[in-house]
A and B are shown apart, each in its own frame.
Chain A
Amino acid sequence: MFSYTPLIVLFPLLGFLVLGLFGSRIKNEKLLGILGSGTVGLSFLVAVTLFVQMLGMHPEERKHVVDLFTWISAFTGTSSSLSVSVAYQVDQLSILMTLIVTGVGFLIHVYSIGYMHGDPGFWRFFAYLNLFIFAMLNLVLADNFVLMFLGWEGVGLCSYLLIGFWHDRKFEVGGYKPGTSTTSDAAKKAFIVNRIGDFGFLLAMFLIFVNFGSLNFDAVFGRASVVSEGNSAMVWIGLLLFLGATGKSAQIPLFVWLPDAMAGPTPVSALIHAATMVTAGVYMVARCSVLYALAPTALHVMAIVGALTAIMAATIALVQNDIKKVLAYSTVSQLGYMFLAMGVAAFSAGIFHVLTHAFFKALLFLGSGAVIHAMHDEQDIQKMGGLKHQLPTTYKTFLIGAIAIAGIPPFAGFFSKDEILWRAFSSEYGSIGLWAIGVIGAALTAFYMFRLVSLTFEGEKRYGQDLHPHEAPKTMTIPLIILAVLSIVGGFVGIPASLFGGNSIEQWLEPIFAPAYEKLRMEPHPVEITEYLLMLLSVCVAGAGIYCARVVYLRRSKLADSWKAKYPGTYRFLFNKYYVDEMYDTVIVAPTVKVSEGFLWKGIDVKVIDGIVNGSAKLVGMLADVIRRVQTGIAQQYATIFVGGILLLLIWLIVQ
């Protein structure tokens, strides 16, 4: 059965090739849609079959590598030679990610058939989406760092292509002067910011190769078990990999691209910028848990960065008015929770949150897409309100998503978030401070989500009379309903022991993280009374957040404005996203541009480099002229030179 693994990757590739090469000639949207989503659906089916088979296996048998062919083989001249295969590794972690990518991916493909209806780039959209799925599957199924990096870069490319899908539309990008930027600028920003992270990833790969002599996961992690503690190279590897993760997963300091990535069509935001690609960093850290176990310093950094990102993004989300921007900052914040989990060595809790977040965040984004669709591309929640009557299905499913992310039991988000908070409190690598930040963040999450629900769906309608919003077609609502169901029940795979559950996801993933836990000397915790207290507290906090939001935005709607007037500085600070974009612009972008233009371009490039290039070209030209004169066309002269050559050669040989 494992031998079918390559099919999972192959189907989306085929879809991309067919759509990319012949898509423009297929005029039938239905056919294009079936082709585009069908390939991902097939991959999902293969993955599910595989998963079911794995369930019946002994845990040790669940891992399997399918080696397709040697991709790069280089004899480097030293003892360690580089050999990289295109090989796919199925194990408990990668199959879980594959199920998320293909399952949620399939639903979003189906949704897109309705959402992109009538767009002239319909075929191109599906071609890119298929390419994305192909790249993402390479990322999660790779059995070595190089193939993973190929997928990593591939998803970055697709992200770029899809953010700028409507390349000439106006779009306000942070850091640009208002009214001067388009979606292409947002795409470029995403690409360039990610490049910084990718550079870290590359350096980490170099270090791994130097230290372990291989880039294959099994080889590296196997050799890692004999590395002594306190090896500073491990800390660098950990930090550089994490730098890569902060780029792809939008953490401080590289989170600035994600809110602007909302320039892309909404299904893209749901698939790439919420459910799958942005969790690649979390997956990568989980995959390398053994390496991080050797570098607790890197884990501490990760926990702190994650917690800070979680709370910072949550505060920004409080005051944004663009429905997708709120969700974007919410994503950044939730990713922060995942890294907090990773940082306190609660690896399976982090992956659990990846799973539940994929359900409810995809749901929320697709719901917002349905709203935007109904409102004819209006995204400002101040110009909405009362939509629950016109969009009943969207409203109900959106509400389920909001409850799930707020962390109300028994919805999916409760279990995963509570697991993270508990570990942040109780783990040897956690602390009360991290836990407190997490809890405050949770309260803010509940508040901004219900601010969004209240302003969009409830209260008075605030849009023009000429707008008649109507519910989305079935291809869009069915995925919403399925995701809503998953957002309700999705958390049941991780019910903790304290609530008399088996925490099956943690047990499932146990073999993957066992070596790391062993290195970190982590002991399983007995159930404590504190756990119940903290659980109760976080539910109360979430409830309070929801209640406050409803009071402020529904019953006493003047309150929000009066706060705005009372604390204008704070409001502007949050509204302008802590001025991070502006700071980057002043400190990094503007000086770089200035140095590039004034010094590197006009000084170094024009004067020095062009001088050298033109000079050496002139030299080569002169030399060529001389040699050309020897080529007279007279055979006797050729023979003479021939003999001259022989004489020189023989003299050399005899004298030596």
Chain B
Amino acid sequence: MGITFSDITSSAPLVSLVLFSFLTLIVESWGKDKPVLSYWVSLLGVGVSLALSFGHLGAGIPVFGGMLLQGGFAGYCNLIFLSSAFLTILLSRGYLERMECHRGEFYILILFSTVGMMLMAGALNLITVFLGIELMSVSLYVLAGFMRKKVRSNESALKYFLLGAFATGFLLYGIALIYGTSGTTDLVAISKLFPQLSHNPIFLVGCGLLVVAFSFKIAAVPFHMWAPDVYEGAPTTVSGFMSTGAKAAAFATFLLVFVRVFDIAGTSLSQVIAVIAAASMIVGNVTAVAQTNVKRMLAYSSIAHAGYMLSGIAAANVEGETGILFYLLAYTFVNVGAFGIVSIMERQDDKKLNFEDYEGLSARRPALAVLMTIFMFSLAGIPPFAGFFGKYYVFLAAVKANLTWLAILGVLTSLISVYYYLRLVVLMYFREGDADLDHSVPRRSMIALAIAAISIVVLGLYPSLIVDLTRSFFKI
């Protein structure tokens, strides 16, 4: 079980990001009061890892004695996490400077949590799952409370930590029960025993607790209660990062464990997940309608999107998997972008976060209004933006898995969502108002938003770019 040189080269994106996180840590501890240096080092680290990931999209290989899967599925998921981290870093610098809490630790924590996500997407062992989730979550708890002088931010961090710790308890208990019934934590080994174990109630309870822990991380109903409060209180760009990178990582593990390794198609686990999906779509969309704060609206919207994507997991077929993988990439660009614009609009002390603060934005900030419109259209699933194809593929998967009712519910609840997404567009374009900025938007933020918007359009026009790639990952 020794570590070989090929283990290192096969996991080059992961290893390089770990090295860069340490480098940032060192740079930060030596160059006090120069967070800009950490900004550049972390940006470079994510960039290098991103570039390396493009070379790791081929067949997946188990490394480190079968603890970790690298390449293929994991390589693709790394692209999602790293894109999210890259755009978040670009957007955060200006935001943190304006909020007067620009410190280098921010970037270190982003890198650490990204490493955690990458471990989750490649986990072939329940221990690796746990390790990844904790590395990601602990970093995020701190990031949520990063504005330590702000009460809301502290509240957000504390709530996230308390409930997160609660969920971790169930995760560990679930792992213990699975280990108890199967005698191993190796996922591939468990998958071979799955047919006979799936009638063992204790094993099922273990799996159920895993579903609970993952549902907590993706903010699915009824384990979603933390999300609106945490997203609202956390620094806005962190909320964007949590709702994309962290959610994508949790979905990657969810897929890995329940679709790729265990075959839950047609089992009671699939039914349970379908019910959670349905509840998330309904609660997320209906509650979002009543929100007055844009950040909270985006939080509920993110619960609803978790519901849409879960229908792909409940379907547990090739369309579901490719659909979710496409969806996650599209959703990452959209939501980082949307939260990015909210962060640009936001002022000190949680000002300018309400819907009415966007009235008439198009007259003074046409570029921001256009970008926000693209993001909202994509969230609402209007073609030709990428969000449409994401929904199309997961609902198609549901129909193919005889979960037609879930697909119908998904379409109906999407209909509700059009109301609150387009409300923002209407306010920006058709209302007289004095929405404006009192600061200039840094060029790097505009670049990040442009990358997000262009990606959404390109993915919407050529979904086959990604779909053909992800279809080749199906099954290890």
Interface residues, chain A, CB within 8 Å of chain B?
A: 69-73, 75, 77, 617, 620-621, 623-625, 627-628, 630-631, 633, 635, 637-639, 641-642, 644-646, 649-650, 652-654, 656
The answer to whether B286 touches A70, judged by C-beta atoms less than 8 angstroms apart, is no
The answer to whether B212 touches A653, judged by C-beta atoms less than 8 angstroms apart, is no
Stretch in B72-80, B268-276, B308-316, B437-445 with 4+ CB within 8 Å of A: B268-276
Q: How far is the CA of A630 from the CA of B228 in the complex (A)?
A: 12
Q: In the assembled complex, which residues on chain A have CB atoms less than 8 Å from the CB atom of B162?
A: 635, 639
**Does chain A have a CB within 8 A of B209?**
yes
Say how far B319's CB is from chain A's closest CB, in angstroms: 7
Q: How far is the CA of A638 from the CA of B275 in the complex (A)?
A: 20
The answer to whether B268 touches A635, judged by C-beta atoms less than 8 angstroms apart, is no
**Does chain A have a CB within 8 A of B47?**
no
**Does chain A have a CB within 8 A of B40?**
no
The answer to whether A652 touches B268, judged by C-beta atoms less than 8 angstroms apart, is yes
Q: What residue of chain B has the Cβ atom nearest to residue A625's Cβ?
A: B290
Which of B207, B271, B276 is close to A656, meaning CB atoms less than 8 Å apart?
A: B271
Given contacts A650-B205, A652-B271, contact A617 B212 (CB under 8 A): no
Say how far A294's CB is from chain B's closest CB, in angstroms: 32
The answer to whether A620 touches B286, judged by C-beta atoms less than 8 angstroms apart, is yes
Q: How far is the CA of A70 from the CA of B283 in the complex (A)?
A: 38
Which of B201, B229, B283 is close to A627, meaning CB atoms less than 8 Å apart?
A: B283
Q: In the assembled complex, which residues on chain B have CB atoms less than 8 Å from the CB atom of A645?
A: 212, 221-223
Which size bracket describes the interface of B in this complex? 35 or more
The answer to whether B269 touches A653, judged by C-beta atoms less than 8 angstroms apart, is yes
Q: How far is the CA of A654 from the CA of B205 in the complex (A)?
A: 8
The answer to whether B289 touches A653, judged by C-beta atoms less than 8 angstroms apart, is no
Q: How far is the CA of A649 from the CA of B205 in the complex (A)?
A: 9
Between A and B, 21 residue pairs with Cβ closer than 8 Å are A69-B462, A70-B464, A77-B396, A77-B400, A620-B289, A620-B416, A623-B286, A625-B290, A627-B287, A630-B225, A635-B226, A638-B163, A641-B225, A642-B166, A642-B216, A642-B223, A646-B209, A649-B208, A649-B211, A650-B205, A653-B207
Q: In the assembled complex, which residues on chain A have CB atoms less than 8 Å from the CB atom of B212?
A: 645-646, 649
Say how far A154's CB is from chain B's closest CB, in angstroms: 16
Within 8 A of A (CB), among B156-184: 158-159, 162-163, 166-167, 170
Q: In the assembled complex, which residues on chain A have CB atoms less than 8 Å from the CB atom of B286?
A: 620, 623-624, 627
The answer to whether B222 touches A642, judged by C-beta atoms less than 8 angstroms apart, is yes
The answer to whether B287 touches A624, judged by C-beta atoms less than 8 angstroms apart, is yes
Q: How far is the CA of A71 from the CA of B462 in the complex (A)?
A: 6
Q: What residue of chain A has the Cβ atom nearest to residue B211's Cβ?
A: A649
Q: How far is the CA of A71 from the CA of B110 in the complex (A)?
A: 37
Given contacts A620-B289, A639-B163, contact A644 B225 (CB under 8 A): no
Say how far B72's CB is from chain A's closest CB, in angstroms: 20
Q: In the assembled complex, which residues on chain B have CB atoms less than 8 Å from the CB atom of A77?
A: 396, 399-400
Q: What residue of chain B has the Cβ atom nearest to residue A73's Cβ?
A: B464
The answer to whether B289 touches A621, judged by C-beta atoms less than 8 angstroms apart, is yes
Q: In the assembled complex, which residues on chain A have CB atoms less than 8 Å from the CB atom of B163?
A: 635, 638-639, 642
Given contacts A624-B289, A654-B201, contact A631 B225 (CB under 8 A): yes
**Does chain A have a CB within 8 A of B468?**
yes
Label chain B's interface by main secondary structure.
helix
Say how far A421's CB is from chain B's closest CB, in angstroms: 48
**Does chain A have a CB within 8 A of B467?**
yes
Q: How far is the CA of A73 from the CA of B464 in the complex (A)?
A: 6
Q: How far is the CA of A633 from the CA of B211 in the complex (A)?
A: 24
Within 8 A of A (CB), among B224-282: 225-226, 228-229, 268-269, 271-272, 275-276
Q: What residue of chain B has the Cβ atom nearest to residue A617's Cβ?
A: B419
Q: How far is the CA of A641 from the CA of B170 in the complex (A)?
A: 14
Q: In the assembled complex, which residues on chain A have CB atoms less than 8 Å from the CB atom of B290?
A: 621, 624-625, 628
Q: What residue of chain A has the Cβ atom nearest to residue B319's Cβ?
A: A75
Q: How far is the CA of A637 from the CA of B222 in the complex (A)?
A: 12
Q: In the assembled complex, which residues on chain B have CB atoms less than 8 Å from the CB atom of A642?
A: 163, 166-167, 216, 222-223, 225
Q: How far is the CA of A371 from the CA of B148 in the complex (A)?
A: 80
Q: How far is the CA of A653 from the CA of B174 in the complex (A)?
A: 14
Q: What residue of chain A has the Cβ atom nearest to residue B413's Cβ?
A: A620
Q: How far is the CA of A645 from the CA of B211 in the complex (A)?
A: 11
The answer to whether A638 touches B464, judged by C-beta atoms less than 8 angstroms apart, is no
**Which of B170, B211, B287, B399 counts the most chain A CB atoms within 10 A?**
B287
The answer to whether B223 touches A633, judged by C-beta atoms less than 8 angstroms apart, is no
Q: How far is the CA of A72 from the CA of B465 in the complex (A)?
A: 10
Interface contacts beyond A631-B229, A641-B222, A653-B205: sample of 16 additional A-B pairs, CB < 8 Å, sorted by A: A73-B464, A77-B400, A620-B416, A625-B290, A627-B287, A631-B225, A635-B159, A638-B159, A642-B167, A642-B223, A644-B222, A645-B212, A649-B212, A652-B271, A654-B205, A656-B268
Q: What residue of chain B has the Cβ atom nearest to residue A72's Cβ?
A: B464
Q: What residue of chain B has the Cβ atom nearest to residue A75's Cβ?
A: B319
**Does chain A have a CB within 8 A of B204?**
yes
Q: In the assembled complex, which residues on chain B have CB atoms less than 8 Å from the CB atom of A646?
A: 170, 208-209, 212
Q: How far is the CA of A650 from the CA of B464 in the complex (A)?
A: 39
Say how far B110's CB is from chain A's closest CB, in angstroms: 25
Q: What residue of chain B has the Cβ atom nearest to residue A626's Cβ?
A: B286
**Which of B222, B268, B468 counts the most chain A CB atoms within 10 A?**
B222
Q: In the assembled complex, which residues on chain B have CB atoms less than 8 Å from the CB atom of A631?
A: 225, 228-229, 287
Q: In the assembled complex, which residues on chain B have CB atoms less than 8 Å from the CB atom of A627?
A: 283, 286-287
Q: How far is the CA of A77 from the CA of B402 in the complex (A)?
A: 12
Q: What residue of chain B has the Cβ atom nearest to residue A656's Cβ?
A: B268
Q: What residue of chain A has the Cβ atom nearest to residue B279's Cβ?
A: A645
**Which of A72, A635, A644 counts the most chain B CB atoms within 10 A?**
A635
The answer to whether B468 touches A653, judged by C-beta atoms less than 8 angstroms apart, is no
Say how far B228's CB is from chain A's closest CB, in angstroms: 6
Q: In the assembled complex, which residues on chain B have CB atoms less than 8 Å from the CB atom of A639?
A: 162-163, 166
Q: In the assembled complex, which residues on chain B have CB atoms less than 8 Å from the CB atom of A650?
A: 205, 208
Q: How far is the CA of A75 from the CA of B321 in the complex (A)?
A: 14
Q: How far is the CA of A428 from the CA of B207 in the complex (A)?
A: 75
Q: How far is the CA of A147 from the CA of B371 in the complex (A)?
A: 29
Say how far A539's CB is from chain B's closest CB, in angstroms: 55
Say how far A153's CB is from chain B's closest CB, in angstroms: 15
Say how far A611's CB is from chain B's closest CB, in angstroms: 17
Q: How far is the CA of A617 from the CA of B289 in the complex (A)?
A: 9
Q: What residue of chain B has the Cβ atom nearest to residue A637's Cβ?
A: B225
The answer to whether B204 touches A654, judged by C-beta atoms less than 8 angstroms apart, is yes
Q: In the assembled complex, which residues on chain A have CB atoms less than 8 Å from the CB atom of B223?
A: 642, 645
Q: In the assembled complex, which residues on chain A have CB atoms less than 8 Å from the CB atom of B289?
A: 620-621, 624
Q: In the assembled complex, which residues on chain A have CB atoms less than 8 Å from the CB atom of B208?
A: 646, 649-650, 653
Q: How far is the CA of A475 from the CA of B204 in the complex (A)?
A: 83
Q: In the assembled complex, which residues on chain B have CB atoms less than 8 Å from the CB atom of A656?
A: 268, 271
Say how far B243's CB is from chain A's closest CB, in angstroms: 17
Q: How far is the CA of A592 from the CA of B166 in the complex (A)?
A: 64
Q: In the assembled complex, which residues on chain B have CB atoms less than 8 Å from the CB atom of A624?
A: 286-287, 289-290
Which of A623, A635, A649 is close to B272, meaning CB atoms less than 8 Å apart?
A: A649
Q: How far is the CA of A635 from the CA of B162 in the complex (A)?
A: 8
Those 10 A-B pairs whose CB atoms lie nearest each other, nearest first: A624-B290, A645-B222, A638-B225, A656-B268, A73-B464, A653-B208, A653-B204, A627-B287, A70-B464, A624-B286
Say how far A367's CB is from chain B's closest CB, in angstroms: 43
Q: How far is the CA of A77 from the CA of B283 in the complex (A)?
A: 30
Q: What residue of chain A has the Cβ atom nearest to residue B201's Cβ?
A: A654
Say how far A144's CB is from chain B's closest CB, in angstroms: 15
Say how far A433's CB is from chain B's closest CB, in angstroms: 50
Within 8 A of A (CB), among B277-307: 283, 286-287, 289-290
Q: In the assembled complex, which residues on chain A have CB atoms less than 8 Å from the CB atom of B158?
A: 635
Say how far A460's CB is from chain B's closest CB, in angstroms: 60
Q: In the assembled complex, which residues on chain A have CB atoms less than 8 Å from the CB atom of B468?
A: 70, 73
Say how far A622's CB is from chain B's closest CB, in angstroms: 10
Q: How far is the CA of A623 from the CA of B284 in the complex (A)?
A: 12
Q: How far is the CA of A642 from the CA of B222 in the complex (A)?
A: 6
Q: In the assembled complex, which residues on chain B have CB atoms less than 8 Å from the CB atom of A71?
A: 462
Q: In the assembled complex, which residues on chain B have CB atoms less than 8 Å from the CB atom of A72?
A: 464
Q: In the assembled complex, which residues on chain A have CB atoms less than 8 Å from the CB atom of B211?
A: 649
Within 8 A of A (CB), among B190-219: 201, 204-205, 207-209, 211-212, 216
Q: How far is the CA of A641 from the CA of B228 in the complex (A)?
A: 15
